[in-house]
Amino acid sequence: MEYRFLPKKGIAPFVTGLLKDFKVYGPVEKDGFPMYGEITSPKDIHLSHAPTHLSPKQFLFPPKETILRFKNGAKPALEPVIEAHNQALFGIHSCDIHAIKLLDRVFSYGPRDVNYLKRRDKTVIIGIDCVPDKYCFCKSVNTMTVDSGFDLFLHDVGSGFVVEVGTQTGKNLLYKNAKTKKATMKEIKKIKEIRDKKAEMFVTKLNAEASTLPLIYSGSYNSPVWEKIGKICYGCGSCNNVCPTCYCFDVRDEIKTNLTEGERFRVWDACTLEDFAKVAGGHNFRKTRAERLRHRFNRKFQYLADKFGGLFCVGCGRCIRTCLVNINIAEVTNELIEEANKDRS
């Protein structure tokens, strides 16, 4: 692994260089809050280390995406649509890089999702350290740090950034667009010091090892926890929409008023919505909000763990911040852990 030192004043020319070859998306400020948006100038970047309410997933898997255009009439025609451009995701936090790695596995599994993968192939990822707020619990699910899945990763060591080079693409971009020097051992050791301090900052924690959570969830099917939170859930789908690892979508057709042209597009879907598991005849496999919440939580901690080699909760805390009735995925999990411990005793 190669480490380079980039002075803080070197960020602006680095971003300026990226803008020549990529659409750049990174942390900006809107209404006083950090969010990911398009960067058109280095002045747009707001390098706050606070978590964002929305994840960068939207730049790889858009909320609405046209996948096919069609024409009827004397000469019917179908045109597959794959929209992808060179883009750099700048200032991505460790938990979100872990989430992108999971999405890479999902969209590569079985029939490959060419829309996602084409966009992913054209994407450069530049990570940066963050500071947890009271909702984050990435340390509990082993996503506080990341050692792959990025092209470059910036560690703020006060006087500048120690840049961890993850790929040859990242190295080429750094050498092309920034003036750096080889990081000293003192600067590299500073990374561990900062990480150790960060590890002590977490307010929200899970009371069991991440590796034990799939088994704990597998025994929770009849837990009273689900009815308790099902009674207060609005079924609004906010938790799904802000989650960086939710990947379900619905496919719809839209016909123009001329009745001969149209497009097929996909939109994000949410397993907490009433119609998600509804089939022909109005039958619903998960009729109650309790059942839908149980399904969502198990998707994060059990169902997909073996299939894709990791928990699908990366501890970002977004669903906790967003929930209108304060359903807390960490607190729910800790209740299930406590139930499991009682059953063993």
pLDDT tens digits, one per residue of 185-222: 999 999 999 999 999 999 999 999 999 999 999 999 99
CA–CA distance, 291 with 294 (Å, rounded to integer): 5
Beta carbons within 8 Å of 193's beta carbon, 6+ residues apart:
none
Helix (H) or strand (E) holding 11, with range, is: helix 11-21
Tokens representing residue 126 in the block: 């530049």
CA–CA distance, 35 with 105 (Å, rounded to integer): 26
Task: Kindly tell me if the per-residue pLDDT of 243 is higher than 80.
Answer: yes
Average pLDDT of the residues in 60-84:
93
Q: How far is CA 191 from CA 7, 9, 184, 196, in A?
A: 15, 20, 12, 9
Confidence tier at 1 by pLDDT (50, 70, 90): confident
pLDDT tens digits, one per residue of 253-305: 999 998 889 999 999 999 999 999 999 998 999 999 999 999 999 999 999 99
| Beta strand extents in 260-335 (DSSP E only) | 261-268
Position 190 scores a pLDDT of 95
Mean pLDDT of the chain: 95
DSSP output for 91-139: EE-HHHHHHHHHHHHHHHSSS--HHHHHHHHTEEEEEE-----TT--GG
Confidence tier at 107 by pLDDT (50, 70, 90): very high
Task: Kindly tell me if the per-residue pLDDT of 155 is higher than 80.
Answer: yes
CA–CA distance, 98 with 157 (Å, rounded to integer): 22
Task: Kindly tell me if the per-residue pLDDT of 49 is higher than 80.
Answer: no
Position 50 scores a pLDDT of 81
Task: Kindly tell me if the per-residue pLDDT of 177 is higher than 80.
Answer: yes
Confidence tier at 91 by pLDDT (50, 70, 90): very high
Position 344 scores a pLDDT of 78
Position 259 scores a pLDDT of 87
Confidence tier at 74 by pLDDT (50, 70, 90): confident
Nearest residue to 249 (alpha-carbon basis) of 44, 122, 66, 90: 66
Task: Kindly tell me if the per-residue pLDDT of 165 is higher than 80.
Answer: yes
Confidence tier at 238 by pLDDT (50, 70, 90): very high
Task: Kindly tell me if the per-residue pLDDT of 224 is higher than 80.
Answer: yes
DSSP type of residue 282:
G
Position 309 scores a pLDDT of 87
Nearest residue to 55 (alpha-carbon basis) of 24, 100, 86: 100
**Percent residues over pLDDT 70 in the chain:** 100
pLDDT tens digits, one per residue of 50-69: 889 999 999 999 999 999 99
Q: Tokens 């059953």 map to which residue?
A: 343
3-state secondary structure of 36: strand
